[in-house]
Amino acid sequence: MKTLSHLGDPSAHPRWKDFEAYASRVRAIALFPFDGPKWCELWQELVSRLGPRPLLPNLQSVSLNAISPHELTASAFLLVSPSVTTLHFAFKHDILGVHAALPRVSDRAPAIDTLRLSVVPWEGMNAHCPRLRHISVLPPLDGRRLEYLAQFSGLRSLSISLSDAFALTDQLALPSLNALHVKGKWPCLTGMLTATHAPNLSVLALEAWEAGTPAQQVAKHATDCIRAISAKHSESLTSLTVQASYGRAPSPSSVRSVHMVPDAFEGSILDIARPLLALHGLRTLALVLPDCLDLDCPSGDLRAMAEAWRGLEELHVEFWGYFAPPWIKPPREERPRGGPLEALGHFARHCPRLRKLHLPPMDATRTSTLGMGDDLEPLESGRLGHGLDRLIVSKVKISQQDDDSESGKINSSSESVVEFVGRVFPKAAWAFREDRIAVVDGWVVAHENATCLASANVNSSVSSISSVTMCQRSPENPEVTEVIEKHLIVRFSRQ
């Protein structure tokens, strides 16, 4: 095997400056410490000649991998620099001796604050990486494995998924935790939230897995989980996401079976979410639920939400449906679940900081009362001057007698929609201009040739949109880039 002994001082080599320049640009590396090869010993010889100087002085992220289980090659860790702050245990399975890699890395990089695990946590791992603040674990955890993570006293953010048999026997203390992202079945999420003490938690994101249980049971599980959120974190939470999904992703070699919920639970949004009204400090809220929860958003519920969350900046309410052939799951008649359009006035009056509002299809059949609902005071034009600049509503229902579907032209009902949005949210009104909308089958939707332009800047992105309105697919156009969000398509012109 070749060595560096005949080279003398490596820093005296004529190409050493080039090597240093290249090494200083390296920010992330992948190491295979269990796969050799023997020439890794060259790093040991090189490091011994460099003294205290690291080989990769600006290295930030290290990923530890393994192809086949062999003995640990200690010299591979010599590439780890004190500047490293992120560590990824990317091993696909528990390899004998894998736990020995953590102390070797932490000894060379004591500033590591972010850890991502593709293996389950183990007892005693908190003795290493004393500055660890952020942990993400890919495999599902039981209660005992979660307790190992709770031993990191300075933990600030945690992202995990729960096993189907998850349970905690004792209270779990996470005193420093600020952000928590958890996936699992509804009862498992409820059990964890109930048994966890996290007084400083401000950001909570839950993804609940559906398994084909009856809709009444889904509604009960969802309500219990939301009640646990309110009971434990009503004082600290500022950001909350509650999202239901199909469940854990299957392995690439398997065939996924989606268990649909055949029946439906009928009610209003607050039949499920009423406990959240106690979270007065919320700034962002997202509720993304399956359509087996056949919920509506009546004006009274929207008013209660607006009055409870006066500091709200973003609100997202959405109901998604299972994708299935009609002979398996007959399609339900589409209706305006988002409530009456005039209920937008509640958010205009009570949520002055609101900047993004995403609601299901809304109802404008009461065109004569827009802005003058039963529980609404009249809106004075220009008085509110609300700063909301992104309004997302997939479509708006109008009176059938005013439907002009054959021509797709604007009529009196759709004109009332345009006028009302302009009065309530003037900064979002441009997306509702008459040249951008059409009437189709009793619904106001985006005109097929309408484009949403944030500015003259070609590099506009979704985050910079001023507002978004009802959109549908348009004919092929090479000058238009389409960004699809379920049934919503936002189009940017490149002219």
Chain position carrying tokens 């604050």: 113
pTM: predicted TM-score of the whole model, two decimal places = 0.82
Q: What is the spatial distance between Cα 464 and Cα 474, in angstroms, rounded to a whole number?
A: 22
The DSSP result for 422-452, as a single string, is HHH-GGGGGGG-GGGEEEETTEEEE-TT---
Per-residue pLDDT of the chain (495 residues; tens, 9 = 90+): 455 555 667 777 788 889 889 989 999 999 888 876 655 667 777 777 777 788 899 999 999 988 776 777 888 888 899 999 999 998 876 666 778 889 999 999 999 999 999 999 999 999 988 899 999 999 999 999 999 999 999 999 999 999 998 998 889 999 999 999 999 999 999 999 999 999 999 999 999 997 678 889 999 999 999 999 999 988 899 999 999 987 766 555 555 555 667 678 899 999 999 999 999 999 999 999 988 888 999 999 999 999 999 999 999 999 987 666 565 666 667 889 999 999 999 999 999 999 999 999 999 887 545 554 444 454 544 444 789 989 988 888 887 655 454 555 555 667 778 888 888 998 888 777 777 777 888 888 866 544 433 222 323 333 222 333 333 333 333 333 333 233 333 333 333
Question: What H or E segment, with its residue span, contains residue 480?
Answer: strand 480-485
Residue among 430, 417, 304 at smallest CA distance from 370: 417
Q: Looking at residue 438, what is its pLDDT? A: 79
Q: Give Cα 368 distance to the centre of its chain.
A: 39
Residue 97 is predicted with a pLDDT of 72
DSSP states along 305-370: HHHH-TT--EEEEEEE-----TTTSPPPPP--TT-BGGGHHHHHHH-TT--EEEES-EE---GGGT
Residue 354 CA, chain-centre distance (Å), reads 19
b/e 15-43 (16+ beta carbons within 10 angstroms → b): eeeeeeeebeeeeeeebbbbbbeeebbeb
Whole-number Å distance between alpha carbons of 469 and 344: 14
- State the Cα–Cα distance between residues 286 and 394, nearest whole angstrom: 16
At residue 207, what are phi and psi to the nearest 5 degrees? -120, 110
Residue type, 48: S
Tokens representing residue 67 in the block: 């192809």
Closest to 413 (Cα-Cα) out of 435, 436, 383, 442:
442
Q: Is 284 helix (H, G, I), strand (E, B) or coil?
A: strand
Q: Treating both helix axes as pointing N-terminal to C-terminal, what angle do 215-233 and 186-195 enclose, rounded to 10 degrees?
A: 20
pLDDT score of 470: 39
Task: Report CA-CA distances (Å) from 459 to 392, 490, 491.
Answer: 21, 14, 13
Q: Are 141 and 158 in contact (CB under 8 A)?
A: no
Whether cis (ω within 30° of 0) applies to the bond prior to 37 is yes
| Annotated domain spans of the chain | 1-132
Three-state DSSP at 295 gives strand
Q: What is the DSSP letter of 191?
A: H
pLDDT for residue 462: 30
Task: Sort strands 314-320 and 172-173 into parallel, antiparallel or unpaired.
Answer: unpaired
Residue tagged 């003259």 (tokens)? 456
pLDDT for the residue 44: 76
> How far, in Å, CA of 39 to CA of 55, rounded?
16
Taking a C-beta distance cutoff of 8 angstroms, is the pair 162, 185 a contact? Answer: yes
Joined together, the tokens standing for residue 475 give: 């004919």
From residue 490, alpha-carbon distances to 236, 238, 361, 435, 446 in Å are 35, 28, 16, 16, 10
